[in-house]
Amino acid sequence: MTRVLAKSQAHYRRALTRMPLGVASNFRFWGEDRTIYVKYGRGARIVDLDDNEYIDYRMGYGPAILGHADPRVDDAAREGMKVGGVFALSTEREYHVAQRISKMVPAAELVRFSNSGTEAVMAALRLARAYTGKDDYLILEGSYHGLFDAAMWYTPMDKWTQVGDPQVYPYSEGIPLSTRSFAHFVQANDANQLEDVLKRHASRVACLLIEPIMGNCLGIATDPGYLRAARELCDRHGVLLVIDEVKTGFRVARGGAQELYGVNADLCTFAKAMGNGYPISVLAGREEVMRKIGRGVAHGGTYTAHSVSLAAAERTLQILDETDALERIADYGTALRQGMSAILKSRGIAHSFVGHPSMSGLYFAHDPPRNYRDWKGSDYTFYDAAAKVLHDERVLCEPDSREPWFVCAAHDDACLKQTLAAFEVAIEKTLSTLGERRQAGG
Ligand SMILES: Cc1ncc(COP(=O)(O)O)c(C=O)c1O
Task: Measure CA 293 to chain center.
Answer: 26
Residue among 381, 371, 20, 387 at smallest CA distance from 172: 20
Segment 95-102 shows an average pLDDT of 98
Query: What SS3 state is found at 80?
Result: helix
Q: Give 118's DSSP letter.
A: H
Instruction: Pick the residue whose CA is nearest to atom 5 on ligand 1.
Output: 146
If you measure from the C-alpha of residue 202 to the centroid of ligand 1, how many angstroms do you get, rounded to a whole number?
26
If you measure from the C-alpha of residue 130 to the centroid of ligand 1, how many angstroms do you get, rounded to a whole number?
22
Residue 26: the pLDDT is 95
Residue 379: the pLDDT is 85
Atom index in ligand 1 nearest the CA of residue 116 equals: 10
Segment 128-143 shows an average pLDDT of 97
Instruction: Pick the residue whose CA is nearest to atom 7 on ligand 1.
Output: 117
Segment 383-394 shows an average pLDDT of 96
Compute how many other C-beta atoms are within 10 angstroms of the C-beta atom of residue 2.
4
Please determine, for residue 438, whether its predicted confidence score (pLDDT) is greater than 80: no
Residue among 120, 412, 380 at smallest CA distance from 249: 120
Residue 345: the pLDDT is 97
If you measure from the C-alpha of residue 62 to the centroid of ligand 1, how many angstroms do you get, rounded to a whole number?
10
Residues with CB under 6 A from ligand 1: 61, 116-118, 121, 144-146, 211, 215-216, 244, 246-247, 271
What is the distance between the alpha carbons of residues 320 and 263, in angstroms, rounded to a whole number?
21
Residue among 218, 219, 257, 221 at smallest CA distance from 241: 257
If you measure from the C-alpha of residue 219 to the centroid of ligand 1, how many angstroms do you get, rounded to a whole number?
14
Segment 112-127 shows an average pLDDT of 98
On average, the pLDDT of the chain sits at 96
Q: Give 326's DSSP letter.
A: H
Is residue 248 within 8 Å of residue 211, measured between CB atoms? yes
Please determine, for residue 373, whether its predicted confidence score (pLDDT) is greater than 80: yes
Atom index in ligand 1 nearest the CA of residue 216 equals: 16
If you measure from the C-alpha of residue 350 to the centroid of ligand 1, how many angstroms do you get, rounded to a whole number?
30
User: For a pocket test of ligand 1, which of 125, 214, 247 has the largest count of ligand atoms closer than 8 A to its C-beta?
Assistant: 247
Task: Measure CA 15 to chain center.
Answer: 27
Per-residue pLDDT band for 390 (boundaries 50, 70, 90) equals: very high
What is the distance between the alpha carbons of residues 37 and 285, in angstroms, rounded to a whole number?
38
Give one DSSP letter per residue of 285-315, joined into a string: E-HHHHTTBTTTB----TTTT-HHHHHHHHH
Residue 157: the pLDDT is 85
Please determine, for residue 440, whether its predicted confidence score (pLDDT) is greater than 80: no
Q: Any residues with CB less than 8 A from the CB of 92 and at least 6 apart, and which?
A: none
Please determine, for residue 442, whether its predicted confidence score (pLDDT) is greater than 60: no
CA angle 354, 355, 359 (to 5 degrees): 110
Atom index in ligand 1 nearest the CA of residue 214 equals: 1
Residue 156: the pLDDT is 85
Residue 439: the pLDDT is 59
Beta bridge partners of 114: 281
If you measure from the C-alpha of residue 145 to the centroid of ligand 1, how many angstroms do you get, rounded to a whole number?
5
Segment 84-100 shows an average pLDDT of 98
Residue 416: the pLDDT is 98
Segment 252-258 shows an average pLDDT of 98
What is the distance between the alpha carbons of residues 352 and 377, in angstroms, rounded to a whole number?
13
If you measure from the C-alpha of residue 27 to the centroid of ligand 1, how many angstroms do you get, rounded to a whole number?
13
Residue 378: the pLDDT is 84
The one-letter code for the residue type at 220 is I
Segment 39-46 shows an average pLDDT of 98
Residues 393-434: tens digit of each pLDDT: 999 999 988 899 999 999 999 999 999 999 999 999 999 988
Q: Give 122's DSSP letter.
A: H
CA angle 155, 156, 160 (to 5 degrees): 100
Query: What SS3 state is found at 35?
Result: coil
What is the distance between the alpha carbons of residues 55 and 75, in angstroms, rounded to a whole number?
24
Instruction: Pick the residue whose CA is nearest to atom 2 on ligand 1.
Output: 145
Q: Could you give the C-alpha distances from 328 to 4, 65, 194, 408, in angstroms and in order?
A: 34, 11, 36, 9
Instruction: Pick the residue whose CA is nearest to atom 13 on ligand 1.
Output: 146
Please determine, for residue 441, whether its predicted confidence score (pLDDT) is greater than 70: no
Instruction: Pick the residue whose CA is nearest to atom 16 on ligand 1.
Output: 247
Instruction: Kindly state the helix (H) or strand (E) to which residue 410 belongs, with its residue range.
Output: none
User: For a pocket test of ligand 1, which of 145, 148, 251, 276 has the largest count of ligand atoms closer than 8 A to its C-beta?
Assistant: 145
If you measure from the C-alpha of residue 126 to the centroid of ligand 1, how many angstroms do you get, rounded to a whole number?
17
Please determine, for residue 437, whether its predicted confidence score (pLDDT) is greater than 80: no
User: For a pocket test of ligand 1, which of 246, 268, 283 has the largest count of ligand atoms closer than 8 A to its C-beta?
Assistant: 246
Please determine, for residue 218, whether its predicted confidence score (pLDDT) is greater than 90: no
Per-residue pLDDT band for 47 (boundaries 50, 70, 90) equals: very high
If you measure from the C-alpha of residue 233 to the centroid of ligand 1, how many angstroms do you get, rounded to a whole number?
26
Please determine, for residue 339, whether its predicted confidence score (pLDDT) is greater than 70: yes
If you measure from the C-alpha of residue 283 to the centroid of ligand 1, how many angstroms do you get, rounded to a whole number?
13
Domains with residue ranges and CATH for the chain: 37-68+324-439 (3.90.1150.10), 71-322 (3.40.640.10)
Instruction: Pick the residue whose CA is nearest to atom 6 on ligand 1.
Output: 146
Instruction: Pick the residue whose CA is nearest to atom 3 on ligand 1.
Output: 145
What is the distance between the alpha carbons of residues 440 and 138, in angstroms, rounded to a whole number?
45
Segment 353-381 shows an average pLDDT of 92
Q: What is the CA radius of gyration of the chain?
A: 22
If you measure from the C-alpha of residue 117 to the centroid of ligand 1, how many angstroms do you get, rounded to a whole number?
5
Residue 172: the pLDDT is 96
If you measure from the C-alpha of residue 271 to the centroid of ligand 1, how many angstroms do you get, rounded to a whole number?
8
User: For a pocket test of ligand 1, which of 28, 113, 118, 211 has the largest count of ligand atoms closer than 8 A to its C-beta?
Assistant: 118
